Amino acid sequence: MTQKLLFQRFVVFFLASMSFACLLGQMWNWWSMKTFACLILPPATAILIFLAVRAPKNAAMRMWIIEGAVGGVVAAIVYDLFRLPFVLGVIPGLKAMPLFGVFPRFGQLILDAPLTDYGAAVQFAGWAYHFSNGAALGIMFLAMLPKATPRALIIGATIWALAVEAMLLLSPYYAFFKLKFDSGTFLWITLSAHLIFGVSLGAWLSLRLKTKKHA
């Protein structure tokens, strides 16, 4: 792997990671999500878009950004659909769980809105940030994957998704958002959801890259 390619991987990974840095800084009290979402995240996203547009059609950088972002959003949708029955309380023996409750909180932090504000703007900002993180995960994954074979994509994406969840469990995330669920049930649901995110991401990317190869 050439130094140029390694540098490109680092740049793309770093720029995509700004989506997570927005929240991590808030949790560790380094900066506010509002400041970061206004001043840092938009330029980082704009640079990623610029790099994807300017890169040659067959360039790796273009593939990491475009396919990674789309794959991450698709996986995030599958992730949410898996959790939806738990939110609606239709699983026998389980009460409804507010698993989507952090999304309006994201919006409140980004817009610096009061905790009582659950309006359309807060909801939109929160959900948009959620899907931004999904896209970022997809981009970061492809940027650090040495070789995008079908096996590496599926296994690698699954390990990546579970590693991200492990990092969240070790961070102040759950305490910061005051998520109080039955520990055993919640742990099973959140790990299963991230497992499904990873498998979905890997399967989607494997299908997409195979299709592009034979196009």
When pLDDT is cut at 50, 70 and 90, the band that residue 215 belongs to is very low
pTM score, whole prediction = 0.94
Residue 115: C-alpha distances to residues 119, 121, 122, 187 (Å): 11, 13, 10, 26
Radius of gyration (C-alpha) of the chain in whole angstroms: 18
pLDDT (tens digit, 9 = 90+) per residue, 43-81?
A: 999 999 999 999 887 789 999 999 999 999 999 999 999
Q: Which helix (H) or strand (E) holds 100?
A: none
